[in-house]
Amino acid sequence: MKFISWNVNGLRAVQKKGFEDIFASLDADFFCLQETKLQEGQIDLSFPGYKSYWSYAEKKGYSGTAIYTKHEPLSVAHGPGDAFPDNEGRVVTLEYEKFFLVCVYTPNSQDGLKRLSYRMEWEDNFRKYLKGLSEKKHVIMCGDLNVAHEEIDLKNPATNHMNPGFTDEERGKMTELLSEGFVDSFRFLHPDEIGYSWWSYRAAARERNVGWRIDYFIVSEGAKKLIDEAYILPEIMGSDHCPVALELKL
């Protein structure tokens, strides 16, 4: 099975940049989106053979997640569990016979780290949610996690230390997740490979490949043996992020 995850930075915007052709060419079983920036009914975008499931933010033009899938789920859930209300449309979870698929858009700590404390609370609750799912069956989690975990995951680690997405606190939460039964699929297969999934719009960062790897497929430990390939698709344009992919033997 093939999984794609992409922060589109506005689905209506990327639709004008060839999204439908990109979607068709990638031919994934599951196509997960973050930062759709939509309210319900604001777009009519369907694909033959796919159903779609959405989470919307209460704030217009903000956040939002979605999954297009060829496979009918057993159940659909929104948000990171009942204990942590999500009014920003950040999580969609589909349940299948052998696994849960979780699409997430992790909150950004923002300039001046003004939302870092909220981010830390989010991380703890989301990790608890994933661990609860993993006690039932495999978990496949993907999305924009808004953190470069290790220095290899961004071009300029020294000058970005303690900037949003590369604080000790955010990196520590990723380490905590990975130490509690989860695996970064790309880094598992490619321990020394440099690859980025996000570039600033400033200073021709993408042209110069001055980027960050902040988009991930994370799987529960038991699903590690199912990983066939994990890769990044930097040639695909339309957003400040590019898609990332995971292929599993399911």
Q: What is the pLDDT of residue 250?
A: 86
DSSP assignment of 101-138, as one string?
Answer: EEEEEPPP--GGGTTHHHHHHHHHHHHHHHHHHHTTSE
Residues 99 and 74 sit within 8 Å (Cβ to Cβ): no
Instruction: Check residue 85 and give its pLDDT.
Output: 77
Integer Cα distance of 2 and 30 in angstroms: 7
Euclidean distance between CA atoms 47 and 104, whole angstroms:
22
**pLDDT bracket for residue 81 (50, 70, 90):** confident
Assess contact for 198 and 146: CB atoms under 8 A: no
pLDDT band at 72; cut points 50, 70, 90: very high
Residues 177 and 127 sit within 8 Å (Cβ to Cβ): yes
Alpha-carbon distance values, 13 to 50, 70, 121, 145 (Å): 21, 24, 31, 21
Nearest alpha-carbon partner for 12 in 242, 239, 240, 241 = 239
Q: Are 218 and 129 in contact (CB under 8 A)?
A: no
126-162 pLDDT, tens digit each: 999 999 999 999 999 999 999 999 999 999 999 999 9
Residues with catalytic function: 105, 144
Neighbours of 113 (CB within 10 A): 15
User: Among residues 125, 137, 115, 3, which one has the least CA distance to residue 63?
Assistant: 115
CA distance 78 to 126: 12
Write phi, then psi, for 50 (nearest 5 degrees). -115, 145
Is 87 exposed, middle or buried, given 0-12, 13-18 or 19+ CB atoms closer than 10 A?
Answer: exposed
Note the Cα 242 to chain centre separation in Å: 11
Q: How confident is the model at residue 82 (pLDDT cuts 50, 70, 90)?
A: confident
Q: Which residue has the higher pLDDT, 84 or 116?
A: 116
Stretch 39-56: mean pLDDT:
96
Q: Are 105 and 144 in contact (CB under 8 A)?
A: yes
